[in-house]
């Protein structure tokens, strides 16, 4: 989190629009943190998007778009992998943004599978809120045992490998009440 994934996604889509390419962007319908019908970065840059309840809906909505983007891909199931492959086989440029690890530091499906079939992968890092080093982990700050917890700074902070405390997160899973 806080590495600039959505900011980079928006940047790439705006460049495609400048090149007069038809762009479509999708986000999970459950993600209403900043907007119901736009992808919004933490810096408040935004681009209109279509909320979808599952990856298969993207195939129904994509039409003649040349560039297809998906934000917050970790909120979709592994069906997203086949959807992205179908789109790529149709000649569409597919851009996906999402977390590759969950708050326990474990691979966050479907991102590892998407990375395996992608032609290009850009892995961004945040800044560790403890020591300032490059951060590749999301430290959960609240007691909540589910893998999926929508939130931002109130629930998570970026941590480097050295400062990340997965045991603290595992304790929260074992004891969601905080006792």
Q: What is the pLDDT of residues 158-170, one digit of tens each?
A: 999 999 998 765 6
**What's this model's pTM, rounded to 2 decimal places?**
0.84
Q: Which long-range contacts (CB under 8 A, 24 or more apart) does 131-134 make?
A: 131/160, 131/162, 131/163, 133/160, 133/162, 133/163, 134/160
Domains along the chain with CATH numbers? 5-117 (3.40.50.300), 126-174 (3.30.60.20)
CA distance 24 to 6: 15
The pLDDT tens digits of the residues spanning 142-154 come to 776 665 555 555 6
What are the catalytic residues?
A: 72
Instruction: Supply the pLDDT for residue 45.
Output: 81
Residue 35 has pLDDT above 90, yes or no: no
* Whether the Cβ atoms of residue 129 and residue 135 lie closer than 8 Å to each other: yes
């Amino acid at each position: 989190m806080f590495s600039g994934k959505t900011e980079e996604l928006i940047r790439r889509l705006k460049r495609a629009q400048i090149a007069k390419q038809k762009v479509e962007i999708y986000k999970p319908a459950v993600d209403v943190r900043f907007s119901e019908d736009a992808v919004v970065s933490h810096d408040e840059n935004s681009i209109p998007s279509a909320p979808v309840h599952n990856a298969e809906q993207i195939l129904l909505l994509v039409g003649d778009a040349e560039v297809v983007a998906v934000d917050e891909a970790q909120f979709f199931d592994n069906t997203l992998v086949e959807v992205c492959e179908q789109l790529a086989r149709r000649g569409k440029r597919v851009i996906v943004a999402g977390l590759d690890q969950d708050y326990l530091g474990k691979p966050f499906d479907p991102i590892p599978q998407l990375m395996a079939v992608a032609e290009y992968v850009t892995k961004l890092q945040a800044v560790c809120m403890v020591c300032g080093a490059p951060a590749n982990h999301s430290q959960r700050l609240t007691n909540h045992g589910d893998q999926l917890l929508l939130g931002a700074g109130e629930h998570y902070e970026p941590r480097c490998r050295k400062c990340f405390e997965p045991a603290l997160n595992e304790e929260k899973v074992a004891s969601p009440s905080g006792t």
